[in-house]
Structure 1
Amino acid sequence: MSGDTSGGTQVLQACDAELNALLGRLPALRFASLSTVDGRAVLAAGRLTDTAVERVAAVSSSLLALGEAFARETAGSAYRHTTITADDGLIVVARVPSSRQRLALAVGCDHGGNLALLLGCALDSAAALTRIVDRAA
C-alpha cells in the first residue's frame, strides 16, 4: 500500500478511518494495528508508542506464520486468526484476506473486554479492510 499516489493515500486514509472506527466500537479496545505479513507496520490507532507499533507488526507477522503452519500441519486447512488471553487483556491477530495485499490486523483490549466481541469486531474490520484494499484500482 503505497502512499505515493493519490489512490494510495486514499486507501491509507480509508484504512485509518476503519481502524479508528473499530476503536470506537469497543470501549475496552486499546489498539488496532495494520501491518504487512512480512512484519512492516502500515497503520496503527490507539494507545501504542512508535516503538510498540513496529514490535506489534513484527510479532503479528510471526504469529501469522506460526498459525498458518499449525493450521496446515494439523488441520490441513487455511489459517484465519489467533486469539491470545493475557492477565490484563485480550489480543486477536487476523489475516486481512485481500487479493491485492498480504496484510494482518492485530487488535488488543484491556481486561474489561469480551473475547467474542473482540473477535467479531476484529473479523468485521478485517473484512472491511479487505474491501477497501481490493476496490483500489
Structure 2
Amino acid sequence: MPSGFDDTLTNLARPKTSAIVTVRVIKSFEFRTERSLILRDINLNICTVGELKTIALNAIQTQPGWKPYRSAHFDTLKLYTQAMGLRFYLTETTNLIINLDHDEWILSDDNTTLTECGFQNETEVSFFNKEIYENFKLDPQTRWES
C-alpha cells in the first residue's frame, strides 16, 4: 500500500456514536428534485428514526439554501445505500431518484434506534412524503426532460 494510505473500511471509519448520515431530501419524484443533507456526529445507538426526521426537518427550516424545500411535507425515511467495507450496497433500480423496490426498507417505527435499523457510518436514507411516493410508484414517469 502507498505510504499514508488509510485502508480503514468506510463503515468503520467512525464509531456508531459519531457517524455521518446522508439524508436525500426528495421534494419531487417526477421532476427528480432532490438535495442531500449531510449530518455529522449522529449517535446511531441512541438517535431514533423520529429524532432523525426532526433533525432533518430542523435543518431544512433553518439552514441556508433550503428555502424551496420548506413548504414541502416530509414524513418518511427509507434506506437508500449503506457502506459495506470499501464498497456500497445499492439496490438495483432504474429510477435515479429513489429505489422503488424493497418497501420493507421504509423506516416506519419512529421509536427504533438507527442502530436497530442497521445504520452504520455513511448510511444514506431518502426523506420524502409517503403519499407522493405511493402515487409515483403507480406511475413512475419523470417529467424533468420536458
Q: For the superposition of Structure 1 and Structure 2, which TM-score range results when normalised by the shorter chain? A: under 0.3
The TM-score, its normalising length taken from structure 2, stands at: 0.24
The TM-score, its normalising length taken from structure 1, stands at: 0.25
More helix by share: 1
Bigger radius of gyration among the two: 2
